Amino acid sequence: MLDSEYETDGPWSPDARASGDRRMMDRAIDLAKKAAGCTRPNPLVGAIIARDGAILGAGYHERAGGDHAEARAVADARRNGHGDLSGATVYVTLEPCCHVGRTGPCADLLVSAGVSRVVCGMTDPDPRVSGGGIARLRAAGIGVETGVREAECRALNRPFLKRVTEGLPFVTLKYAMSLDGKTATAAGESRWISSVPSREETHRLRSESAVILCGVGTVLADDPLLTARIPSRPDAPQPVRVVVDSSLRIPFDSRVVSTAKKHPTIVACAIPRPEGPSGGKAAALERFGAEVLRVPGADGRVDLAALFRELAARGLDSVFMEGGGTVSFSAVSGGLVDRVIAYVSPTLVGGASAPTPLAGAGFTPLAAAATLKDVSVSRSGEDIRVEGFVCSRDS
């Protein structure tokens, strides 16, 4: 695991311990990010083992069911000739686990490895751990410090944290629009409003998400494939495709349906029982390989909150929403969206009937509108990229 990017920093100075802890944790976070999209329902975790400022071993959790970051770091240290880990510090982005799952407890592993100190980025809110790992380490006489780069470690695992603490997935609403706020022309043409770099990033974000979701209107208008296509990573993780289609209008010849046996696909509808023509269509969609999930709401539409809870219960911890305006507004107005990413193209489209990112009834009065915090603005090719997090209603 050691490479030119993770080599010794030179002699350790006790006076520099705090800054050294932060520096090592930054490296552990960078390692964890390498498995983005591959570990769910588990979190992203990176670990570094160091002594006197020199890195002995490093590792990250690569996939669910595989060795945890701590185990990989210990094994890496031993491969590098460091069988004796006394006096060593383990830097890990998340509290070591203390329960038996598909692997053994990492807290016990670190105790048996003989390390002297553990620095955790954050405690694990999973009730199976929740401080138990730290308690086990301290009971064994290992010094433990928590909260180093905590904000960054929490940001690393936003989806995992929301699923564990709220039973809901972390939802990102993404859209591309013209400078005058249109996502397509009045005739429905939308390819391509965004720049090539923006589209490339979109595919990366899809791959890092558990679910890509759109409304049936987007399928009818654009016939998207809803997959992550990254030329440099032909084996990139693929999200589960979810189409919100209250009355089952999705065509059999759409690309989503025709490829449902290749890519996991859910069509969420509001039809409570498989009766009449719609029941026959549901059965036909299932023969194509799609799962028809009935999530009726009081208004005759899919209950998005119930849908998202069901996705989270399946271990699908993140949803990447890509239109259209009706389902996007329903998610925003329902308080279900956590993050917004917008690509603004330097084009002017016009058209009173041209679609916009959010449709629906809209917010009234203006004071009720959703607002963003922690907003960042950057360039993405010729586009302006805006990212922000939706403020909670009581903030």
* Catalytic site positions: 70
- Of 377, 304, 303, whose CA–CA distance to 341 is shortest? 377
- Of 123, 69, 74, 68, whose CA–CA distance to 101 is shortest? 68
| β-pair partners for 174 | 341
> Would you say the C-alpha torsion 213, 218, 220, 225 has a positive or negative sign?
negative
CA distance linking residue 90 with residue 75, whole number of Å: 13
Evaluate whether 184 touches 193 at the Cβ level (below 8 Å): yes
Vertex 146: Cα angle to 71 and 318 (nearest 5):
70
Find the radius of gyration of the CA atoms of the chain: 24
CA distance linking residue 88 with residue 127, whole number of Å: 29
- Of 153, 102, 100, whose CA–CA distance to 123 is shortest? 153
> Would you say the C-alpha torsion 72, 77, 79, 85 has a positive or negative sign?
negative
Structure tokens, 286: 């299932």
Distances (CA, A) of 289 to 225, 248, 267, 344: 15, 15, 11, 36
Cβ burial, residue 320 (10 Å; 0-12/13-18/19+): buried
Burial 270-284 (b: 16+ CB within 10 A, else e): bbeeeeeebeebbee
